[in-house]
Amino acid sequence: MPIIINLDVMMAKRKMSLNELSERVGITVSNLSILKTGKAKAVRLETLEAICKVLDCQPGDILEYVKES
């Protein structure tokens, strides 16, 4: 998939656990884990906004497009 999810990188930079992010964003650990591992088929902009707010980052810090060769 050409969209890479760098959520784990941002969490590490902010020294935040999956459980803490889950509580602060207001989504379940399992849904956050699905997103973190790149298995999610979609992400709501509302959820992305909440994650960016908690991690103090931009959407581009979390989502990356990699052109397939």
Q: In this structure, is the dihedral angle defined by the CA atoms of residues 30, 31, 37 and 40, taken in order, positive or negative? A: positive
Q: Which DSSP helix (H) or strand (E) runs through 9? A: helix 7-13
Verdict on whether the full-model pTM lies above 0.75: yes
Spatial separation of the C-alpha atoms in residues 65 and 46, rounded to whole Å: 20
Domain range annotation of the chain: 3-57
pLDDT confidence of residue 36: 92
* CATH code, 3-57: 1.10.260.40
Which stretches in the chain have pLDDT values below 70?
1
